[in-house]
Amino acid sequence: MLARRVLVVHDDSDARRIYRAALEFAGFDVLEAVDAAGIRTAAEQEPSVIVTDLFVRFVADESVVARLRRDPRLTSTPVLVLSAWTSAPHRELALQLGVDAFLHLPVSPQRLVAEVHRVVGVGGQRVPDNGLDAR
Protein backbone atom coordinates (compact mmCIF):
# COMPACT_ATOMS: atom_id res chain seq x y z
CA MET A 1 0.00 0.00 0.00
CA LEU A 2 1.29 3.46 -0.87
CA ALA A 3 1.47 5.59 2.25
CA ARG A 4 0.01 8.64 0.53
CA ARG A 5 -2.71 7.28 -1.78
CA VAL A 6 -6.27 8.55 -1.29
CA LEU A 7 -9.38 7.23 -3.03
CA VAL A 8 -12.18 9.81 -3.29
CA VAL A 9 -15.61 8.25 -3.92
CA HIS A 10 -18.24 10.89 -4.60
CA ASP A 11 -21.06 11.35 -7.10
CA ASP A 12 -20.51 15.13 -7.42
CA SER A 13 -17.79 15.94 -9.96
CA ASP A 14 -17.20 19.42 -8.50
CA ALA A 15 -16.67 17.97 -5.03
CA ARG A 16 -14.24 15.38 -6.39
CA ARG A 17 -12.34 18.10 -8.25
CA ILE A 18 -12.02 20.27 -5.13
CA TYR A 19 -11.01 17.34 -2.91
CA ARG A 20 -8.48 16.13 -5.51
CA ALA A 21 -6.91 19.57 -5.85
CA ALA A 22 -6.54 20.02 -2.09
CA LEU A 23 -5.14 16.54 -1.53
CA GLU A 24 -2.74 16.66 -4.48
CA PHE A 25 -1.49 20.06 -3.33
CA ALA A 26 -0.75 18.41 0.03
CA GLY A 27 1.28 15.71 -1.75
CA PHE A 28 -1.22 12.85 -1.91
CA ASP A 29 -1.71 10.58 -4.92
CA VAL A 30 -5.47 10.78 -5.57
CA LEU A 31 -7.72 8.25 -7.26
CA GLU A 32 -11.38 9.02 -8.02
CA ALA A 33 -14.54 6.95 -8.30
CA VAL A 34 -18.16 7.88 -8.87
CA ASP A 35 -20.00 4.78 -7.70
CA ALA A 36 -19.65 1.15 -6.67
CA ALA A 37 -16.69 0.93 -9.03
CA GLY A 38 -14.88 2.76 -6.26
CA ILE A 39 -14.99 -0.37 -4.18
CA ARG A 40 -13.26 -2.35 -6.91
CA THR A 41 -10.77 0.48 -7.36
CA ALA A 42 -10.09 0.51 -3.62
CA ALA A 43 -9.48 -3.22 -3.53
CA GLU A 44 -7.18 -3.10 -6.54
CA GLN A 45 -5.24 0.09 -5.76
CA GLU A 46 -4.91 -0.30 -1.97
CA PRO A 47 -5.33 3.33 -0.93
CA SER A 48 -4.11 4.55 2.45
CA VAL A 49 -7.51 6.09 3.12
CA ILE A 50 -10.89 6.33 1.42
CA VAL A 51 -12.75 9.66 1.43
CA THR A 52 -16.45 9.29 0.61
CA ASP A 53 -19.91 10.60 1.24
CA LEU A 54 -22.01 8.38 3.46
CA PHE A 55 -24.44 7.86 0.58
CA VAL A 56 -23.60 8.11 -3.12
CA ARG A 57 -26.57 8.29 -5.48
CA PHE A 58 -25.18 5.65 -7.86
CA VAL A 59 -24.89 3.04 -5.10
CA ALA A 60 -28.46 1.88 -4.65
CA ASP A 61 -30.05 1.44 -1.24
CA GLU A 62 -27.01 1.30 0.99
CA SER A 63 -24.01 3.20 2.21
CA VAL A 64 -20.75 3.09 0.27
CA VAL A 65 -19.06 2.38 3.59
CA ALA A 66 -21.22 -0.72 4.12
CA ARG A 67 -20.04 -2.09 0.80
CA LEU A 68 -16.43 -1.21 1.52
CA ARG A 69 -16.52 -2.92 4.90
CA ARG A 70 -17.90 -6.15 3.40
CA ASP A 71 -14.81 -6.54 1.21
CA PRO A 72 -12.23 -8.47 3.28
CA ARG A 73 -9.41 -6.63 1.51
CA LEU A 74 -10.72 -3.28 2.79
CA THR A 75 -11.82 -3.96 6.35
CA SER A 76 -8.75 -2.24 7.81
CA THR A 77 -8.56 0.64 5.30
CA PRO A 78 -9.41 3.91 7.08
CA VAL A 79 -12.58 5.61 5.85
CA LEU A 80 -13.24 9.32 6.20
CA VAL A 81 -16.86 10.32 5.54
CA LEU A 82 -17.78 13.80 4.32
CA SER A 83 -21.53 14.23 4.49
CA ALA A 84 -24.41 16.65 4.78
CA TRP A 85 -26.33 13.76 6.41
CA THR A 86 -25.69 14.79 10.00
CA SER A 87 -28.73 13.56 11.92
CA ALA A 88 -28.27 11.20 14.85
CA PRO A 89 -29.35 8.10 12.84
CA HIS A 90 -26.77 8.85 10.15
CA ARG A 91 -24.03 9.38 12.71
CA GLU A 92 -25.05 6.11 14.40
CA LEU A 93 -24.88 4.33 11.05
CA ALA A 94 -21.40 5.72 10.48
CA LEU A 95 -20.33 4.49 13.92
CA GLN A 96 -21.81 1.04 13.30
CA LEU A 97 -19.99 0.82 9.96
CA GLY A 98 -16.69 1.67 11.61
CA VAL A 99 -15.76 4.92 9.90
CA ASP A 100 -12.56 6.54 11.16
CA ALA A 101 -13.78 10.13 10.84
CA PHE A 102 -17.01 11.94 9.98
CA LEU A 103 -16.87 15.53 8.77
CA HIS A 104 -19.99 17.62 8.29
CA LEU A 105 -20.26 19.40 4.96
CA PRO A 106 -19.33 21.96 4.00
CA VAL A 107 -15.69 21.37 4.93
CA SER A 108 -12.73 23.50 3.95
CA PRO A 109 -9.96 21.96 1.85
CA GLN A 110 -7.53 22.65 4.72
CA ARG A 111 -9.73 20.74 7.18
CA LEU A 112 -10.02 17.82 4.77
CA VAL A 113 -6.25 17.60 4.35
CA ALA A 114 -5.70 17.86 8.11
CA GLU A 115 -8.16 15.06 8.78
CA VAL A 116 -6.66 12.81 6.09
CA HIS A 117 -3.25 13.36 7.69
CA ARG A 118 -4.71 12.48 11.10
CA VAL A 119 -6.43 9.32 9.85
CA VAL A 120 -3.44 8.10 7.84
CA GLY A 121 -1.10 8.98 10.68
CA VAL A 122 2.60 9.64 10.74
CA GLY A 123 4.87 6.71 9.98
CA GLY A 124 1.86 4.45 9.56
CA GLN A 125 0.52 5.12 13.06
CA ARG A 126 -3.01 6.49 13.10
CA VAL A 127 -3.75 9.29 15.50
CA PRO A 128 -6.89 8.43 17.48
CA ASP A 129 -9.86 10.76 17.39
CA ASN A 130 -11.70 11.82 20.54
CA GLY A 131 -15.05 11.31 18.84
CA LEU A 132 -16.68 10.55 15.55
CA ASP A 133 -17.42 14.14 14.64
CA ALA A 134 -14.14 15.72 13.63
CA ARG A 135 -15.71 19.03 12.76
pLDDT(1) > 80: no
User: How far apart are the C-alpha atoms of 115 and 24, rounded to whole Å?
Assistant: 14
- pLDDT tens, 44-80? 888 999 998 877 655 555 677 888 888 888 888 999 9
Q: Let me know if residue 133 belongs to a domain.
A: no
Give me the pLDDT at residue 59, please.
53
What is the rounded CA–CA span in Å between residue 43 and residue 61? Answer: 21
**What pLDDT, on the 0 to 100 scale, is given for residue 56?**
67
Q: What is the DSSP string of 85-115?
A: --SHHHHHHHHHHT-SEEEESS--HHHHHHH
CA distance 97 to 68: 9
For residue 80, the enclosing domain spans: 5-120
Residue 78 has a pLDDT of 93
Q: What percent of the chain has pLDDT over 90?
A: 33
The answer as to whether 126 is a domain residue is no
User: Domain holding 28: CATH number?
Assistant: 3.40.50.2300
* Residue 113, domain member (yes or no): yes
Between CA 125 and CA 53 the distance in angstroms is: 24
Domain-embedded: residue 134? no
Q: How many domains would you assign to the chain?
A: 1
Domain contains 88: yes
127 lies in some domain: no
Q: What is the pTM of this model?
A: 0.82
